[in-house]
C-alpha cells in the first residue's frame, strides 16, 4: 500500500505555556500494550482542549496515516513518534540476556519535529524490522546516530536506558548514557 502523508504546518497552531499535550500515547496499533482507538484518543483530546497529541506506539508506525487523518478532522496537531526498541549492542546481534533484570533491549521514545524527522522515523522503523528484528523490531545507537536529524528523543518510560541503569544502581552508567544521548 502506498500513501501520501502531509503533516500540517506548525505555524497554524499557537500554544501558551499553560497548554498540555500528551507526548507518549499508545493506540490499538501498539500490539500487546495499547487498547485505545485513534478515534477515541482524538475525541478525548478535543474534549479536553488539547491542541496537539502524539502517537508513540511500540516498535511500529502502523497507525500514523489514520492518526494524521483523524487529527486533521479534529483540528489537532498530530505529533508523530514511536517508542522504539533499542538493542543494547548491535541490531545484528541475536542473543538474549539470561538475567531477568538485564534485558537485551531498552525503550527509546522518538518524536518527529519536522518532515526530515518524519522521514528518519520511517527509515528507523523500516530498518528495525528488516535488519534488527529479533523477537521485536530493534534499532541500535548506530542507526540513531545516522538518522537522528529532525528527531526529539525523550527518556521515555521505565524501560529506557537511563531509568533501567538507575534502577539497577548503575549510576555511572546512567550518567554515561545521558551524556551519550545529549
Task: Identify the three-state secondary structure at position 9.
Answer: coil
Looking at every residue in the chain, the average pLDDT score rounds to: 88
Given a contact cutoff of 8 angstroms between Cβ atoms, the answer to whether 52 and 113 are in contact is: no
Length of the chain: 182
Q: For residue 108, count CB atoms less than 10 angstroms from its CB and return exposed for 0-12, middle for 13-18, buried for 19 or more.
A: buried
Q: What is the pLDDT along the chain (182 residues), one digit of tens a residue?
A: 333 445 545 445 566 667 889 999 999 999 878 889 999 999 999 999 999 999 999 999 999 999 999 999 999 999 999 999 999 999 999 887 665 555 789 999 999 999 999 999 999 999 999 999 999 999 999 999 999 999 999 987 899 999 999 999 999 999 999 998 88
Task: Please measure the distance between the N-terminal and C-terminal CA atoms of the chain and give it in whole angstroms.
Answer: 37
% of the chain at pLDDT higher than 90 = 74
Question: Tens digit of pLDDT for each residue in 7-49?
Answer: 545 445 566 667 889 999 999 999 878 889 999 999 999 999 9
For 89, the grid coordinates are 549492542
Amino acid at each position: 500500500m502506498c500513501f501520501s502523508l502531509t503533516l500540517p504546518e506548525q505555524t497554524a497552531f499557537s500554544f501558551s505555556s499553560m497548554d498540555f499535550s500528551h507526548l507518549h500515547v499508545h493506540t490499538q496499533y501498539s500490539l500487546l500494550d495499547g487498547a485505545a482507538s485513534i478515534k477515541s484518543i482524538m475525541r478525548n483530546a478535543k474534549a479536553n482542549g488539547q491542541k496537539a497529541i502524539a502517537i508513540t506506539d511500540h516498535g511500529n508506525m502502523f497507525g500514523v496515516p489514520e492518526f494524521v487523518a483523524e487529527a486533521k478532522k479534529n483540528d489537532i496537531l498530530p505529533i508523530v513518534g514511536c517508542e522504539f526498541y533499542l538493542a543494547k549492542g548491535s541490531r545484528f546481534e541475536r542473543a538474549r540476556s539470561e538475567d531477568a533484570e538485564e534485558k537485551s533491549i531498552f525503550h527509546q521514545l522518538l518524536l518527529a519535529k519536522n518532515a526530515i524527522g518524519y522521514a528518519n522515523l520511517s527509515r528507523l522503523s523500516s530498518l528495525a524490522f528488516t535488519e534488527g528484528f529479533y523477537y521485536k523490531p530493534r534499532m541500535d545507537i548506530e542507526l540513531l546516530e545516522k538518522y537522528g536529524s529532525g528527531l526529539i528523543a525523550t527518556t521515555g518510560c521505565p524501560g529506557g536506558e537511563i531509568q533501567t541503569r538507575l534502577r539497577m544502581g548503575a549510576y555511572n552508567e546512567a550518567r554515561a548514557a545521558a551524556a551519550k544521548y545529549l
